[in-house]
Structures are given as structure tokens and as C-alpha cells.
Structure 1
């Protein structure tokens, strides 16, 4: 469990808050508009109304006591930059700021952000990959060119075990999990025999996964 501060409660801030709480974290939410806070009052650990461009407001929040501080202001870059800088100056341990453009990200990183996120861009990229390729049910991009793909098994793999197919050596991807009837089994045994109702969660380079997809009818 971590202690989390979320500043800015637009759509992204709301989703972040609800998911952080669902995962068992203690969450304080802050927004200068009272209406943005109201629906989170029953679930957030603490909810405050205040303008976080005001240093005194941030100081009273005790930003240094949180494990992570999220600055989720997307519509007003000047405010996002000011708040990011102030949070770091006041002792924020790890500051994650939302950006809409690369130039914004550069300024945020120079002014206190430890990490910058692009939710709109990241979702767009994920959807583009997912819907541009046949037989890709889901896709998560990782570092260094590697990604996790949810794909069906090749027809020639049906009835064979992961060991028999020798997926890692022959196709240069690793099987992280098996999804069947909505249930995910992580790190399946090498003797797991594949059938045509499953999806494979594989990790690898896109070029290697593309070679597998080219052989799926």
C-alpha cells in the first residue's frame, strides 16, 4: 500500500483515483472545483478543495508525506508546470505529471517531474497497433522495443505443448500467460498443451510477433 496525492480531477484523475483505491492505496485528491471532488468523497481517503498553484495550499497538504504525487492537469499547462515545480520544492518524493505534448514533457522534467505520462498518446498508440494487425486482441508496449501481445496460437501449435513447439527458440518470443474463458494463467508450465480456444500472452519484439501473426489464418 502506498500513500498517493492526486492533484487535478478531470477524467484521467478520476480513473487514476478509482484504480489506486481499488488496488489498496491511500489516496488524497485535490481540485480547485468543488464539483470535481464530490463523487470521490465516499471512496477517497481524503478530499480537499484548493488551488494548488498557491504554495500555501500545497504546504498544508504535506506533499512530502506521500509516496507518489500525481499532477493530472491537462488543460492548463502553466498551472501544471507551476504545481509540478512547487510539489518538488516542497519535498515531493516522486512526482508524476501529465503532458499532452513533447515540449510540455521537456519543461515538466526540467522543473521537478520525475516521470511524465501521455495518457492520450499512449492509448492512441495502443489502439493503432491493436487494430492495425489481424489477430491482436491486446497490446502493451514496454521498453527497448519489447511489447506484450495477446494473440491466438498458430494452427500448427494446437494439441502440442509449449515445450514441443519450442516457441522461445524457434519464434524468439516468450509465453507469459494463457487466457482461456476470461481467466488468465500466468507463467504456464512447459507441458501445457494448447487448444484453439486460448489466447497466448507473449512478450517479444514486434517484428518477431509479426512473423507469427503472418502464419495465423
Structure 2
């Protein structure tokens, strides 16, 4: 079944996550209490709704119990962020990622069981969105508006195959610039280099090409 995502809070951070997930073809339920922000995302998210995320009944009626991964990206209202996270935990949501305002907020979120806590001043929306889509994507660095470097853990589809067999450059337009084997790193690997389980590939390319590469060879079913 297709994985469902929820984004609560459509400020700069939540909006960035929503745009990236939607661009990758994911089903996204976006929620905010601000009508203007919701209207801005009506054509971007699968569904965009106006609601108070601390209203348990409203979240239940909207189907948040059935969403696989919810990103709580509420702005400055720490109380609302904590209460929303608690409600989602009680619903039994499989994975909850929460934006923390400060270290105290982070400690509370850890105690109530948030699965992942992020600090938007330290993390880019794009990087987090790609890690949400696949746990194999370890890091994502923007070089420009169109080009990025991505660090990817080799999945089952790549195991025991050489770079020549995968033909990443010809099929996807991306370049493997290095492969990490444990503590060793091989820069500019040869075409006959064989990829093993848990090797880490460092790939450079256009965002659209990296996206195709991720969808075909990287995205896991977790």
C-alpha cells in the first residue's frame, strides 16, 4: 500500500517538507490553523485542511490515525507542538517527526516518544524530506537550485553488482564520485568496482536525476 504522510504546520519549514514530498509523488495531508497558508498548499498537497491540531476529535475525523508518518512542524507554539505529538502517539501513528524550538522542547519531545526530532535552523527541509522517503538516504546537500550531492546506503537492489552493471551514469545521469567501505573510502571508483551491502555511495547530479535514481534503486519499503 502507498505510504501516507501528514504535515502539521505550514510555515517555512513545514511548507518546504510538504513541497518536497509532494514533488516526489507522495500522498500528503497538510494541516494548518491559518486559512491563508492552507489555501497556498491546496494545489500542492494531496489534501490541505484548516484545523486546530490540538483538537483530538478533529484529527481523528481527518484520518490522522491512518497516516504512516506525521511531521509536526508547528511554529512558535511549543505547547501546541507537544499536545499534538501526544495525540498522535495515542493514535498509534507509526512514525512522528517533530520540529523542536529549543533544547528544552527537544527533551520533552523525547520523553513523550517522538521518533525523530529536528531543528530547522540546523536542517534543510529538502534533506529531511529525502530521509523520510528512504532510510537509505543518509545525507542530502544542495549545491544549487538544481544540483545536489546525496549520500546513500546501498540497498538490496545494488548488492554485489558493479558500477558497470548498474550503469548509473547512463540510466540516471548521476555520477558516483566515491564509495565508502566501512572506514575506507574509494574516490573516483572504477567501473568494475563491486558494491556490497551497507556500502555508502556518494552521488552528484541534477535533483530530477537523483530523484529517479532514488525511486528505482534506493527507496525502501519500510
Same fold (TM over 0.5): yes
1:59 deviation in Å?
1.4
Q: Supply the distance in 2 between the matched residues of 1:141 and 1:103 (Cα, whole angstroms).
A: 31
4+ long deviations beyond 4 Å: 137-142
Q: Is the 8 A contact 2:151 2:202 kept in 1?
A: no
**Count of paired positions:** 149
| Residue aligning to 2:57 | 56
Q: Is the 8 A contact 2:150 2:202 kept in 1?
A: no
Q: Is the 8 A contact 2:86 2:112 kept in 1?
A: yes
Q: Supply the distance in 1 between the matched residues of 2:186 and 2:92 (Cα, whole angstroms).
A: 41
Q: Supply the distance in 1 between the matched residues of 2:27 and 2:180 (Cα, whole angstroms).
A: 40
Alignment CA distance shift 1:188-1:69 (3 Å)? farther
Q: Supply the distance in 2 between the matched residues of 1:99 and 1:139 (Cα, whole angstroms).
A: 26
| Residue aligning to 1:17 | 18
Q: Supply the distance in 2 between the matched residues of 1:168 and 1:44 (Cα, whole angstroms).
A: 36
Gaps of 5+ in 2: 128-140, 142-146, 153-178, 194-200, 204-222
For CA contacts below 8 A with separation 6 or more, give which structure has more relative contact order: 2
1:44 deviation in Å?
1.3
Q: Is the 8 A contact 2:149 2:202 kept in 1?
A: no
TM-score by length of 2: 0.58
| Residue aligning to 1:93 | 94
| Residue aligning to 1:28 | 29
Gaps of 5+ in 1: 131-136, 143-166, 179-186, 192-199, 203-217
Asked whether 1:172 is paired with 2:184, we answer yes
| Partner SS state of residue 122, structure 1 | coil
1:101 deviation in Å?
1.8
Q: Supply the distance in 1 between the matched residues of 2:12 and 2:192 (Cα, whole angstroms).
A: 42
Alignment CA distance shift 1:168-1:114 (3 Å)? closer
Q: Supply the distance in 2 between the matched residues of 1:62 and 1:139 (Cα, whole angstroms).
A: 36
Q: Supply the distance in 1 between the matched residues of 2:151 and 2:5 (Cα, whole angstroms).
A: 25
Q: Supply the distance in 1 between the matched residues of 2:30 and 2:62 (Cα, whole angstroms).
A: 10
Q: Is the 8 A contact 1:64 1:93 kept in 2?
A: no
1:53 deviation in Å?
0.9
1:30 deviation in Å?
0.5
Alignment CA distance shift 1:201-1:31 (3 Å)? same
| Residue aligning to 1:196 | none
Larger Rg: 1
TM-score by length of 1: 0.59
For residues 123-173 of structure 1, what are the alpha-carbon distances to aligned partners after superposition, in whole Å with 9 as ceiling and x for unaligned? 5xx9xxx9xxxxxx988799xxxxxxxxxxxxxxxxxxxxxxxx979x932
| Partner SS state of residue 114, structure 2 | coil
